[in-house]
Amino acid sequence: MTTTYSDARWLTADDLATELQIPKQTIYRWRVEGYGPTAHKIGRHLRFSRDDVDAWYSTLQEVADSE
């Protein structure tokens, strides 16, 4: 299933930081380090697709379960 910009649920860095209960700066650092969910630049704004966040979180759970 392909997600288009019009039907995606987008989160801001603030939204994601609040959801994960971490500082917003951590979100930006993860982006620079290539960690965390995929970020999309929409204009000058950084957004995270709900689907990308959920997929990233699933990979974290899989790694934790395999340890």
User: What's the predicted TM-score (pTM) here?
Assistant: 0.78
Quickly tell me which residue has 């790694």 as its tokens.
Answer: 63
Q: Residue 36 in contact with residue 3, Cβ under 8 Å?
A: no
Dist. CA 46–CA 17, nearest whole Å: 13
What is the pLDDT tens value at each position of the chain, 67 positions in all? 555 555 569 999 999 999 999 999 999 999 999 999 999 999 999 999 999 999 999 998 877 777 7
Question: Domain segments of the chain: what residues?
Answer: 10-66
- Top CATH class of 10-66 equals mainly alpha
